[in-house]
Structure 1
Amino acid sequence: MQTTLDHPFPTPPDAGGQSAVAPGVYWLRLALPWRLDHINLWLLEDGGERVLVDTGLGDDATREHWTQWLERARHPLSGILVTHYHPDHLGNAAWLAARTGAPISMALGELLLARAVYAQLPGFDTAAMLTQFRSHGLDEASLTRLEARGNVYRRGVPELPRQIRRLADGDEFRVGTQRWRVIAGMGHSPEHLALHNAEAGVLISGDMLLPRISTHVAVPPAIPEDDAVERYLTSLQAFMPLPAETLVLPSHGLPFRGLHARIGQLQAHHAERDAKMCADLDTPRSAADILATLFRRELDAHQLMFAMSEAIAHLNHAAAAGRLRRLEPTPDGVVRFLATD
């Protein structure tokens, strides 16, 4: 079995350009204002038109890009597919649909969670996140930094779709003569959509399979003891039956071949992270206490939000497997964990 990844397209397209990666499939890349500084988008041929997969962050710079792109595009958009609710994927869907008339296809679970976070509904709001992080030991100075950011989601997704065409696991998504099978996954988001074209040997993996970094797994405050890591690892199994030579088109990083090898690497990564974390819990410690164990770099406010959620996810996973015990909150209200060995 292949143990390394092959990158048949080592050079991303220029800003504003596109490059063919398979018959009827084109690669676009947009900038992001974070440490993870880009997102890959995909255009699918639909006769003389195109279907866009994901839309980029809904900020001024990206919308200026899309304005220029629409002015010079030779092939109008006939549809927009959103893999999941995160701002760099959903951010411009409603905006582009209003300008092109293209319908939006996505999972209902993703739209509902987007609405909950956008509207700051209880359990999905900033206040709930701060309460969750405080209960897992994050200090007040860091909580103040996070609170000052406000509703970051709404800045990245200024408007939401009012209507969608619903897609779910196992559905067939037809684009011209192409037939794409929907593979839904959990852990990163509630109903993340990947697309597999068996005839072309192509998988649009979104954020479920990335070639260099591990997919972020998160525990929303509304479901504080959820085992998001297990949901993610289980979801990866749906990709195992695909042919080894499948061309994987990820949302971040370079297209690659080596699907099974990458799944093995991700499984090993989570097992290694779990073991390192449990070894550090010979005395009761909180999620905030183990951030330095799991993340070896200094974290800005944006990264800290992701790091805390991921630390909680890994603690929940090890506790569900019996490798850790979740202790009752101490008088300071902090939840701590202790290794069972």
Structure 2
Amino acid sequence: MTTAAPEPIADGVRRVRVPMPEGTGLPFSNAYVIDDCDGRVHIVDPGTPTAEAQAALQAAIGDAQVGSIVITHLHADHAGGAGALRARTGARVLLHERERAALGRIAAGVPAPDLDAWGVPEDRRPELLAAAVVPTAPAAEFVDEVVDGVLVDAQLLDIPGRRLRVIGSPGHTDGHLCLHEEEAGLLLTGDHVLPTINSGLGLGGPTDSNPITDYLASLDRVAVLDTGALRALPGHEDPFTGVRERCAALAAHHLRRTEEVAASIGATVWEVASGLTWTGGWDALSGLTLLSALRQTAQHRGLADRRMGL
């Protein structure tokens, strides 16, 4: 794959299209290279750990000193290359405190999905059990010697000359974060808000709360930042405007899905999910995408039951 040259996004901010492995369904993830006033660069989401991906990122960085590596969430296509980049540059790896806590829960063991309760046919169970640990597979690399520090809501990143603020945005994973630079009118959204894709929810290990409830609250938290000139820099696809409208559309999608699930009283999760509309169609889902669809259906059922007082 030929990787495009770094693309200037704003003053001191460049996007790098980091190639993703074939078969993932997306051609690239976005890494962002941010200059500080001391001549260093700071990397947000260094991408996958493959040699091709890291070569693309290194070509974009060149000989610049890397001041920090910030991860929006722990999935491999965003965080997988952080360890290698840290080893090459000595830069600190930072992520949200809730994501760091999630790593601890993952290390303690991720419960297998309750396929009996979901009513999953026997012939589809092996692929779902095999896929259950895939979203959190990079967690094994993020042991204490790799993660150097945690970030908290409203914290300003230590990037001299810039004011990038941490916005906690749980939902996609429990400790997902966005980064907001009000003065520049920029919002780095990771996988929280993408221009056309509806991100999967609850893909960061066990949680104490319903990821859909968390996600809806996070959409509200991000939407209010858009006063008309905000530009979103997503983890996939291309930068876009209209963050408030996109957040409203995503919220409406999930609320509509909850209503659809609530109307299927007595059906199993498998039966409900198979009757819903999915991008690419239900029959095309397998492995991780199928597991994500079933988990989200179960989450919508939980939200619907709570709303009905069940």
Superposition TM-score tier, normalisation by shorter sequence: 0.7 to 0.9
Which residue in the other structure is 1:303 paired with? Answer: 289
Q: Secondary structure at the match of 2:229?
A: coil
Alignment of 1:1-12 (within 5 A): none
Distance in 2 between residues matched to 1:23 and 1:220, nearest whole Å? 33
Question: Which residue identity does 1:58 align to in structure 2?
Answer: P
Match of 2:30 among 30, 40, 48: 40
Distance in 2 between residues matched to 1:65 and 1:21, nearest whole Å? 18
Alignment of 1:1-341 (within 5 A): 15=3, 17-33=5-21, 34-46=24-36, 47-66=38-57, 69=59, 73-117=62-106, 119=107, 121-122=108-109, 124=110, 128-130=111-113, 132-148=114-130, 151-152=133-134, 156=138, 159-161=141-143, 162=145, 163-218=147-202, 222-223=206-207, 226-242=209-225, 243-279=227-263, 281-282=264-265, 284-294=266-276, 295=278, 296-297=281-282, 298-322=284-308, 325=310
* TM-score relative to the length of structure 2: 0.87
Change (3 A) 1:204 1:264: same
Offset, 1:64: 4.7
User: Larger Cα Rg: Structure 1 or Structure 2?
Assistant: 1
Offset, 1:241: 2.6
Q: Secondary structure at the match of 1:172?
A: coil
Question: Which residue identity does 1:27 align to in structure 2?
Answer: R
Deviations 1:61-101 (A, max 9, x none): 434545x538x714232210011112212111122111110
Change (3 A) 1:53 1:223: closer
Contact 1:129 1:220 in 2 (8 A): no
Q: Secondary structure at the match of 2:275?
A: helix
Change (3 A) 1:239 1:303: same
Distance in 2 between residues matched to 1:156 and 1:227, nearest whole Å? 23
Change (3 A) 1:42 1:184: same
Q: Secondary structure at the match of 1:85?
A: coil
Deviations 1:228-273 (A, max 9, x none): 2111111111123322210111111211111111111112211222
Distance in 2 between residues matched to 1:183 and 1:264, nearest whole Å? 18
Distance in 2 between residues matched to 1:138 and 1:221, nearest whole Å? 21
Distance in 1 between residues matched to 2:249 and 2:182, nearest whole Å? 24
Deviations 1:119-139 (A, max 9, x none): 4x23x1xxx224x23322222
Distance in 2 between residues matched to 1:316 and 1:219, nearest whole Å? 16
| Worse-superposed segment, 145-154 or 89-98 | 145-154
* TM-score relative to the length of structure 1: 0.80
Contact 1:26 1:42 in 2 (8 A): yes
Offset, 1:227: 2.1
Offset, 1:154: 7.0
Distance in 1 between residues matched to 2:223 and 2:132, nearest whole Å? 40
Contact 2:86 2:92 in 1 (8 A): yes
The number of equivalent residue pairs is: 299
Unaligned runs of 5+ in 1: 1-13, 326-341
Question: Which residue identity does 1:239 align to in structure 2?
Answer: V
Alignment RMSD: 2.4
Distance in 2 between residues matched to 1:96 and 1:40, nearest whole Å? 16
Contact 2:74 2:138 in 1 (8 A): no
Contact 1:25 1:45 in 2 (8 A): yes
> Percent of aligned positions with the same letter in both sequences?
27
Unaligned runs of 5+ in 2: none
Question: Which residue identity does 1:83 align to in structure 2?
Answer: T
Change (3 A) 1:220 1:129: farther
Deviations 1:118-169 (A, max 9, x none): x4x23x1xxx224x23322222222212334585357656622524222110
Question: Which residue identity does 2:163 align to in structure 1?
Answer: R
Change (3 A) 1:164 1:16: farther
